[in-house]
Structure 1
Amino acid sequence: MTRSNRSRKRDAEYEPLDVERLTGGFRRSEVRKGREWTVQPISTSNATKVYICPGCSLEIAPGVAHLAAWRNDGILGDAADVADRRHWHDACWKVS
């Protein structure tokens, strides 16, 4: 009799793969110039608008992977911080 490679764990709950999270990247926190920032990578498939990068003042075209960053420590609260987020080229964010 041949051996099956299938798992015999039938009680384990199936958790569907979150493809958007895998392709979009993982949100993370970074500290820059003494301030805490949330950084969210934006994949090429999720980049649907035109933005101006605050690092180089050049356009980020639709379909170009980039990142969005916003402060974590604003005095007006989380909603205001997210509303004030900016979209950066990856390279511009690294040198800022």
Structure 2
Amino acid sequence: MKILAVCGMGFGSSMVLKMSIESVLKSAGIKADVRTADIGIAKSETADVIVTSSEFSKLLQNKNIPVVVVKNYVDKKEIGEKLLPIVQGEKKGS
């Protein structure tokens, strides 16, 4: 499973988001390839799930990839509540 952590420039906040995602997935016993991307790369990149802010989610909705919108990139509880149901659904469908 490939997950993209997306921010405006592709570093900084997306790296923080990536680390939070990895922590949530590790706690749940889920393995995934989590990568960072800026909005331009994310538009052309393939992934199973995208995690980003509401601002950038609007630009990615037409990719036919689930987009998880988070308000706080370091809030592991929020990330887990929004991301895990999608990731676990993907695993069951695989």
Q: Same fold (TM over 0.5)?
A: no
> With structure 2 as the length reference, what TM-score do the two structures score?
0.24
User: Which entry has the higher C-alpha Rg, 1 or 2?
Assistant: 1
The structure, 1 or 2, with the larger RCO (C-alpha pairs under 8 Å, 6+ apart) is 2
